[in-house]
Amino acid sequence: MNDTSYSSVEGKVMLVTGGTSGIGKAVTQVLCEQGASVVFTGRNETAGNATSENLTRDGYDCHFVSADLTEPEGVTRIVDTCLSQYGRLDVAFNNAGIFDNAAIFHEYSDTNWDQMISSNLTSIFLCMKAELEIMVEQGDGVIINNASVVGHRATQRATPGYVASKHGVIGLTRQAALQYANSGIRINSISPGPTFTEIQQPLVDRGADAVAEHLSALNPRSQFVSTEEIAEIIIFLSGTAPNMLTGQDIAIDGGQMYKL
């Protein structure tokens, strides 16, 4: 990756939710390396503290906040940290979410539905409310929500709750972008396809042919999306994107969404 593409985040105060693993952890690392001050959150306090210690030891500016974002108190704690440490919030990447295994609609439990909507949709609603309050007062800011390619279509690989929650994330993005279009705030979402994170390592260890076989039914390139590619899009949306780019969802999926 070309370092010059990341210059737009240097000096920015950025919030990353779900930053203790997967996409969020990788994006937190890249943002720190490119000069941003990062507050990141997660439920895994041990993993979060370890990541924070490693980044701080390497000279980067970051703070970990353990928080359950399905609860207003957790959301308040993270935005208060941004304000107490830095006095502002320039960019929020609302990434935290969960996935559950595929289940047929009429067998999907009410409990699983409630958990999925709470973790993947209500949490983003609560975060956006708190972030927007700060950004309206500032007169500027950027919000980026992590949706999914299944936020645009159905899939046999996930549950009704997951698909509905990701459709909802895109809906929240569009509604907020409309309402704050003249407030100096840009609000967009991204829709990654299957992404290479630590959970995919066993498949990758089996070799390129195994990866291609697994992904060939999903996207035309038969490759994982890399977390570096996602970070590059986050940084573009954070700084160098034009002011008129708001209310959009950017699919990062190797053409998966348009494959019949």
**For the chain, what is the total number of helices (H) and then of strands (E)?**
9, 9
User: d(Cα 179, Cα 181) in Å, to the nearest integer?
Assistant: 6
How many other C-beta atoms are found inside a 10 Å radius of the C-beta of residue 235?
A: 26
Please give the structure tokens belonging to residue 251.
Answer: 């699919």
Instruction: Give the H or E element holding residue 133.
Output: helix 123-138
Are 69 and 123 in contact, with CB atoms under 8 Å apart? yes
CA dist 146 and 170 (Å) reads 9
Q: Taking the CB of residue 223, how many other CB atoms lie within 10 A of it? A: 17
Whose CA is closest to 139, among 88, 184, 91, 186?
184
Is the CB of residue 190 less than 8 Å from the CB of residue 252? yes
Extract the tokens encoding 192: 């990654």
Active site residue 180: no
- Which of 6, 162, 180, 258 is labelled catalytic? 162
DSSP 37: E
**Which are the catalytic amino acids?**
162
